[in-house]
Amino acid sequence: MAPGDAQRNTYVALSPAPMTQASTAMSAIKDYILSQHLQPGDPLPTESKLCAGLGVSRSSVREAVRTLVALDIVEVRHGHGMFVGQVSMRPMVESLVFRGLLAPGDDYASLRDVVEVRTTLDIALADQVVKTWKDRPDPVLDGYIDDMEELAAEGKTFSEQDRAFHARLLEPLSNHLWSHLIDAFWAVHTLTVPLMDAPAAEDIIITAKAHREMLEAARKGDADAYRKATRRHYAPLASALSA
C-alpha cells in the first residue's frame, strides 16, 4: 500500500523529538507500571519526575503519554495528575467503529458483521454460561429483565438494561477476557446502530422476552435451549439488517 511519488505531499515531520526517544519513554513508563506492580487508578509520577528519571526530553514524555492515553494505559485527570488507565477495550472499539464506517459497501454490511460476531460469541459460551447459572438465583438479573419487558410494553428500547444483563451474565466466568470482548462488540454495535431505523414494537418485545428465555434456559441447565434463545434474541436485528 506504499503510495507512489505522485501521492506524496510536502509534509514535514510532526514530532519535534526523534521517534526513538518517545518509544523509549513509552517503554519506560510501561516498565515502571509493571515493576512497581501498579494497578488501574494508581497515580504515576509527575511529568518532570518522568523526564528526570528517564533522561529524556519533555516533548518525548508528552508524546509517549499521548500514545499511552490513546491506548487507555495512562489516564490524565487535569489538575490531578497522571494515573494508570483502565487498559480497557476502548481503543479496540474506537478502531472497529471507524473501520466499519470506512468499509466500502452498504452501511449495514459492517453492522451485520458485528452482529454475527456477537451472536457467535454468545452461542460459543452457552456451555459455560449454563454451567455457571444452573439453579442460581439473582434478583439483579431478574430486575433487568423486568425493566426490559416493561419498557418493551411501552414500545421503548432498553440498551442500558440490555448491556447490564449481558455483562452480569458473563461476569462470573473465570476468564474475564470474554466479558471484555463481548462488551467491546456491544459498544461497537451501539455506536453503529443509529444508522438503522427504529425497531418495530413487536421486535422490541421479542428481544426482551428472549433475554428471559436465555436466563431460564441457563437456570435449567439446558445449553441447547440457551443457544436457541440466543438466536431468537438476535433474530429481529439480523432480519432488519438483511432487509
Q: Between residue 24 and residue 43, which ones bind a copy of itself under the rule CB under 8 A? A: 30, 33-34, 37-43
When the beta carbons of 123 and 193 are compared against a copy of itself, the nearer one is: 123
When the beta carbons of 1 and 243 are compared against a copy of itself, the nearer one is: 1
Tell me if 88 contacts a copy of itself by CB under 8 A. yes
Grid coordinates representing 225 are 435451549
Tell me if 7 contacts a copy of itself by CB under 8 A. yes
- C-alpha 229/C-alpha 214 separation (Å) is 5
When the beta carbons of 27 and 159 are compared against a copy of itself, the nearer one is: 27
| 3-class SS of residue 163 | helix
Tell me if 79 contacts a copy of itself by CB under 8 A. yes
Binding residues for a copy of itself restricted to 179-218, rule: CB under 8 A:
181
When the beta carbons of 84 and 229 are compared against a copy of itself, the nearer one is: 84
- C-alpha 119/C-alpha 226 separation (Å) is 12
- C-alpha 87/C-alpha 90 separation (Å) is 8
Span of 148-156, 172-180, 196-204, 232-240 interacting with a copy of itself by CB under 8 A: 172-180
Residue for cell digits 488501574? 40
Min separation Cβ 242 and a copy of itself, Å? 13
Tell me if 223 contacts a copy of itself by CB under 8 A. no
Residue 220: which of 160, 87, 158, 130 has the closest Cα?
130
Residue 24: which of 59, 66, 60 has the closest Cα?
60
Q: Which of 23, 57, 83, 196 binds a copy of itself (CB under 8 A)?
A: 83
Backbone angles phi, psi at 40, to 5 degrees: -50, 135
Q: Report the greatest alpha carbon distance in the chain.
A: 67
Q: Which of 23, 24, 32, 47 binds a copy of itself (CB under 8 A)?
A: 47
Min separation Cβ 218 and a copy of itself, Å? 17
- The answer to whether the beta carbons of residues 58 and 47 sit under 8 Å apart is yes
- The answer to whether the beta carbons of residues 236 and 206 sit under 8 Å apart is yes
Binding residues for a copy of itself restricted to 105-144, rule: CB under 8 A:
112-114, 116-117, 120-121, 123-125
Q: Which of 66, 163, 209, 219 binds a copy of itself (CB under 8 A)?
A: 66
Min separation Cβ 178 and a copy of itself, Å? 7
- C-alpha 217/C-alpha 211 separation (Å) is 10
